[in-house]
Amino acid sequence: MDKNYHIFSDGRIERSEDTIRLETADGEKKHIPVEHAEAIYLHGQIDYNTRLMSFLNDHGVAVHVFGWNDRYAGSLMPERGQTSGRTVVEQVRAYDDPEQRQSLAASFVRGSIHNMRTNVTYYDSREYELGDVIENLDDATARIGDAADISELMGVEATARRAYYRTFEAVLPDSFAFDGREYNPPPNPVNALISFGNSMVYANCVSAIRATALDPTISYLHEPGERRYSLSLDIADLFKPVLTDRLLFRLVNRKQISRDDFRDEVGSCLLNEEGRTTFLKEFEQTLERTVEHPTLNRKVSYQYLLRLEAYKLKKHLLTGESYDSFKRWW
């Protein structure tokens, strides 16, 4: 199984014969086997050259770059393994067709709320009183079909997410107080964890989409724009409750992450290197975890579920088969 590799150290990354070599600023050298790499995540100040980029392109390895506040800054993607003009044409046609775009956007919102509700139901059954949140999410789901346009769908999703975030207040300890979602920059540890986790989900979705012939800039719920892969935003919304939020609850409640894993800067709170390392170790283990797929009749990893979602959308666009967004079933 291909793996993601995260680099926090400052230094230089380059090709060394048929492998990838990292030389840190203090002279330490490490090697990454390119044949087992899905993507490389650069969190430090790293120098690299075109020879390395060509090498990674030949092996289909993506590079995701994170800048100040560990915010996603961009990706260096390999040349597509699959290229299909027809797929891109059908993507654009679906975007330009108000009815089809509305249907796809509604499916993304429906799946996102379902996966939020799954988390709430899990904790409601464990002596937390979250019935009002479940009711709010059910009300939001019922309003999806009444939304007149994309902006109203976005409003339904935003209302659901505000209700959902009340779960964080109930589930997390008092030392991790949470009064609502804030970012750019995150002002407290819970928001820092959400932002960091969501950026990892987004980048993994970018890689998953790139494995198909879909264009990552053509989306349906989020408006396509400059300098972002908006289709990754659509798909990431489905997986944030599964990959970011459940992991956040587990790490904090099991005290694997504490207040000592953050650093406070002017107006912001960020994970320090130890905190990011802890989070990413568990995040990558979650991606590698497998579940029995109900239609494939075999076990698939969480990471492969991201790619399956992109393929499902592609199949809908090319064949007209109904698109039913990812909903956690286990």
Question: Residue ranges for the binding site?
Answer: 157, 222, 237
In whole angstroms, give the CA distance from residue 143 to residue 124: 23
Nearest to 273 by CA among 255, 288, 261, 287: 261
Which phi and psi angles does 127 have, rounded to 5°? Answer: 70, 15
- Among 312, 318, 324, 327, smallest CA distance to 91 is for 318
Distances (CA, A) of 136 to 17, 86, 148, 256: 57, 41, 20, 31
For residues 77 and 288, what is the distance between their CA atoms, to the nearest angstrom?
Answer: 22
**Rounded to whole angstroms, what are the CA distances from 147 to 58, 110, 142?**
45, 12, 10
Q: Can you say whether the dihedral through the CA atoms of 29, 32, 34, 37 is positive or negative?
A: negative
Phi, psi of 100 (to 5 degrees): -70, -40
Contact 321, 315 (CB under 8 A): yes
Give the 3-state secondary structure of residue 52. Answer: helix
> Residue 190 corresponds to which tokens in the numbers above?
């819970």
How far is it, in rounded angstroms, from Cα 106 to Cα 145? 8
Cα 19 to the center of its chain, rounded Å: 28
Q: Which two tokens stand for residue 47?
A: 């120098």
Q: Is 117 within 8 Å of 73 (Cβ atoms)?
A: no
Query: How big is the chain by its Cα radius of gyration, in Å?
Result: 20
**Pairing status of strand 299-301 against strand 290-292:** antiparallel
> Residue ranges for the binding site for Mn(2+)?
157, 222, 237
